[in-house]
Chains A and B, each alone.
Chain A
Amino acid sequence: GAVVSQHPSWVICKSGTSVKIECRSLDFQATTMFWYRQFPKQSLMLMATSNEGSKATYEQGVEKDKFLINHASLTLSTLTVTSAHPEDSSFYICSAGLPGGAVQETQYFGPGTRLLVL
């Protein structure tokens, strides 16, 4: 149980285009989802916290207009990288928390999406 999926698993796009990444909780409803970014040999950096039905909370330094997050349902959150540039190339990972408990206690991670912007 508590499986989180991401789609696509990898994507290559041209500079200036927008890319949408989906994060789904497959067998549970997630009121809160998190988006992380990981650079090679670096730790996971939280980008934003996505709450179902409300605006996402972005971490300091993360551009809201650049990384659009939508959490329209209890099983789906999307991250759209708008007007992507090569510096946006990275590994994006989402996680989801089980409802009813402490979010951090029951956080499950997706497999990640590798983005390469040419």
Chain B
Amino acid sequence: AQSVSQHNHHVILSEAASLELGCNYSYGGTVNLFWYVQYPGQHLQLLLKYFSGDPLVKGIKGFEAEFIKSKFSFNLRKPSVQWSDTAEYFCAVNLLYGGSQGNLIFGKGTKLSVKP
């Protein structure tokens, strides 16, 4: 079965540190890729997405992610984190079958705690 793996359950960083959260998926076909963020007490929000084109995508709040097809990966990065980035981050994959879109498959999430 198709799955999405997020390797880190909980990441703790100091402010200004660089961030990279891993995401891998298991599906050999065409995919759309997403990162969602859930701040404490808030709902899921779209951080960035990849459909096609430049594999390096930029999202809100200085986040970016790179799609590496050969590695089935879509890692999330930020050069310098802030305390306000403390949240849970979910990677999600949308599998495309013959041009139609399947449903979103989510990873288990990575909790990021940034120490001031």
Contact = CB atoms under 8 A, between A and B. Distances in A.
Chain B's interface size range is 20 to 34
A44 B9 contact: no
Nearest to B91: A43
B42 interface: yes
A104 B101 contact: yes
A20 B35 CA distance: 30
B32 A104 contact: yes
B104 to A, nearest CB: 6
Interface in B15-70: 32, 34, 36, 42-46, 49, 51
Contacts of B44: 93, 95, 109
Nearest to B109: A43
Interface of A: 4, 34, 36, 41-46, 49, 59, 93, 95, 102-105, 107-112
Interface of B: 4, 9, 32, 34, 36, 42-46, 49, 51, 90, 94, 101, 103-109
